[in-house]
Amino acid sequence: MVPLIIAHRGDSAHRPENTLASFESALAVGADLIELDVQRTRDGHVVVLHDGTLDRTTNGTGKVFEMTLAEVRAVSAGYPDRFGTKYSEERVPTLADALKLLRGRARVMIEIKKESVAATDTDDGIEALLVAEVRQARMANDVVFISFERRALARCRDRAPEIQRGHLFYRAEPEDVLAAAREIESTLVMCEKGMSSDALRDGAHAADLKVATWVVDEPEEFRDLARFDLYGVGSNRPGVLLDALWGRD
């Protein structure tokens, strides 16, 4: 099996993560899939950001769920601690911005972050908002919802069974992975690379389940993982892995 290369937060080793610049760069190097993270603002908008706060990757501060979209968009998303002022014009994208850019150009993995998952499912919760955004963009066949939060995936299943789901795992036994996939009726799980094993590979094959992993940035490590027959590999350096995959210098 030739694994798909998943651009983790875009081409995030070379551009500020989860920005339109990062996604454009991932497309330019030929990434098969773009992975991005989403959070919900106080006024019910979905924005593309990994952390629950602005502090790490922007020049602002504050918890996203306590801020309005206008407040989030007012800051630079240029990741100044890593890139200085080079990308200072970048803003935190809305999910609609990202889907507009990627529609017809790449498939998309949307990770639902725990900070935005409410205790109960509501029509203005992040799951409902995501489903509406994806359907409005006419990308139901090109999107996979992924999360560590099983309740979020179950809500997505109930609201939009036609949109694929994938369960994320950091540490779990193979039998627990398979059980979770059955529970949310998923054909995909995405397990941290340290979970890769013959037992997980064999159990997934028997269950007709696709297994992806993350984060793999070095060609040597990528080659070492080949024996696990992975469906996809998430990388901050998608271009590097694609070069290794196809034997390009």
Enumerate the active-site residues. Answer: 8, 50
Angle at 210 between CA 209 and CA 211, to 5 degrees: 115
Characterize the bridge pairing of strands 188-192 and 107-112: unpaired
Q: Which phi and psi (to 5°) does residue 248 adopt?
A: -90, 145
- The CA distance from 4 to 34, in Å, is 11
The token pair at 102 is 């990627």
Q: Which three-class secondary structure state does DSSP give residue 198?
A: helix
CB atoms within 10 A of CB 123: 9
Tell me the C-alpha distance between 191 and 102, whole Å. 25
Coil, strand or helix: which one is 188? strand
Please give the Cα distance from 96 to 98 (Å, whole number): 5
User: Kind and range of the H or E element at 22?
Assistant: helix 20-29
- Residue 226 to residues 4, 29, 91, 206, Cα–Cα distance (Å): 12, 21, 37, 18
